[in-house]
Amino acid sequence: MKHMKGVVIAGKNSLAIRDDCPLPEEICPTGALIRPLIWSPCTSDAHLCATGCASLPYLLNKAVGHEMCGEITKIGADVHDFKVDDRVIVCSVMPVWRSLEAQDGHAKNRQDNMYAGNDDPERGGSFVEEYYIHDADMNLARIPEGVTLEQAVMVPDMMCTAFEGVRQLAPGYGASVAVLGVGPVGLMAVRAAVLHGAGNVFAIGSRKVCFDVAREYGATHLVDYHNEDYIEQIVRCNGGPVDGVIVCGGGESALNKGLSMLKNGGTLVNLSAYFGGKPLEIDPAVWGFGYGDKTIKGVGCGGGRLWMTRMAQLIACGRVAPEKLITHRYHGMDKIPEALRLFLNHDRSLIKPVIYND
């Protein structure tokens, strides 16, 4: 086993650049090594750091990161559709396509990535010099002509998560959708809802930098959650409770808030992660006392080559401009900790940072 440089979580609120991250000398026949060209840190990376990997202790001192695009440096003998030097988007969730879950139509419910409970001694996250993936043909997507690196690196999580949420919400034409929390995933959910044919799209947040993008993405109403009566305001503007809600933040109380603006018979899709260990309490009244036909779905990032290829195609066709999410740009792996600290410090000017590997 060789070693390489990478960004690791060294403890609570502590990041370090180390040169002892494992780099396998042999890769599996379906695998590939990818040299990163651009990275993007994420709230979930920052959360791991803030807690010292409390929810996934085996990740301590391993490389962090799951949003990356790069070029292939090595491929296994059974990789058919990619070759060395191809520029690719790397899947963040890594569904296992050769699994019973895949045969059941839900490949992403069995994942081969470091955040999914895999304590793999050969690999961690993708904030490293070379990233090892096990299934190149199924979990890479080519970056289309005309799509920039910083657009492409918004695909693996921001687009793949938000569009998966809206796919599962499936709003009808003209239906009303409220997006609770317009950070980067929420903003993408706004865009996805608009592309899905929604009518009223309520973007609920508080920061101007996010509202500006929400407006550009087609939100019809910008709602500040600091207004005490914002839920009534939404119901009033909409002429009744909304048809669908997407929760992308707001903490443990967000489900109650989302359900209170949702019509009976409507669906709430949750895209937030709750690592706090606290129970999620639901007020029966907002859930139609349990018999209001209000569906709650907990949805995770969609993955795999086809889904990522389709997301990239939305960019190539000019229907999604993901670069609008990028507020901070850095150069060099050594800057990754600084970019992650933007999340830890709750920087109000931040939507999404990228780091070019140059």
Residues that bind Zn ion in the complex, under the rule CB under 5 A: 42, 67, 157
CA distance readout (Å), 295 to 72, 246, 247, 326, 342: 42, 12, 13, 33, 35
List, in sequence order, every residue forming a beta bridge with 350; answer none if it has no partner. none
Contacts of 349 (CB under 8 A, 6+ apart): 209, 327, 328
Within the chain, where are the H helices? 43-51, 100-103, 136-139, 149-152, 160-169, 184-195, 208-216, 230-238, 254-260, 305-316, 336-344
357 DSSP 8-state letter: -
| Cβ proximity to Zn ion, 67 vs 130, nearer residue | 67
Least CB distance from residue 197 to Zn ion, whole Å? 27
- Report the distance separating Cα 89 and Cα 305, nearest Å: 9
| Cβ proximity to Zn ion, 162 vs 268, nearer residue | 162
Least CB distance from residue 45 to Zn ion, whole Å? 7
Least CB distance from residue 315 to Zn ion, whole Å? 17
| Cβ proximity to Zn ion, 67 vs 243, nearer residue | 67
- Contact call for residues 283 and 215 (beta carbons, < 8 A): no
Helices and strands (H and E) in the chain: how many: 11, 15
| Cβ proximity to Zn ion, 215 vs 335, nearer residue | 335
Residue nearest to Zn ion (CB): 42
Least CB distance from residue 41 to Zn ion, whole Å? 8
Least CB distance from residue 76 to Zn ion, whole Å? 26
Least CB distance from residue 272 to Zn ion, whole Å? 13
Least CB distance from residue 270 to Zn ion, whole Å? 16
| Cβ proximity to Zn ion, 292 vs 300, nearer residue | 300
- Contact call for residues 325 and 317 (beta carbons, < 8 A): no
| Cβ proximity to Zn ion, 238 vs 272, nearer residue | 272
Least CB distance from residue 44 to Zn ion, whole Å? 5
- Contact call for residues 111 and 93 (beta carbons, < 8 A): yes
The conformational region for residue 206 under phi > 0 = left, psi -120 to 50 = alpha, else beta, is alpha
Least CB distance from residue 65 to Zn ion, whole Å? 9
| Cβ proximity to Zn ion, 90 vs 96, nearer residue | 90
Least CB distance from residue 162 to Zn ion, whole Å? 11
List, in sequence order, every residue forming a beta bridge with 328; answer none if it has no partner. 353
| Cβ proximity to Zn ion, 157 vs 243, nearer residue | 157
- Report the distance separating Cα 10 and Cα 20, nearest Å: 13
| Cβ proximity to Zn ion, 42 vs 48, nearer residue | 42
The three-point CA angle 299-200-255 to 5° equals: 35
| Cβ proximity to Zn ion, 115 vs 202, nearer residue | 115
List, in sequence order, every residue forming a beta bridge with 18; answer none if it has no partner. 6
* Helix/strand/coil for 344: helix
- Report the distance separating Cα 244 and Cα 267, nearest Å: 5
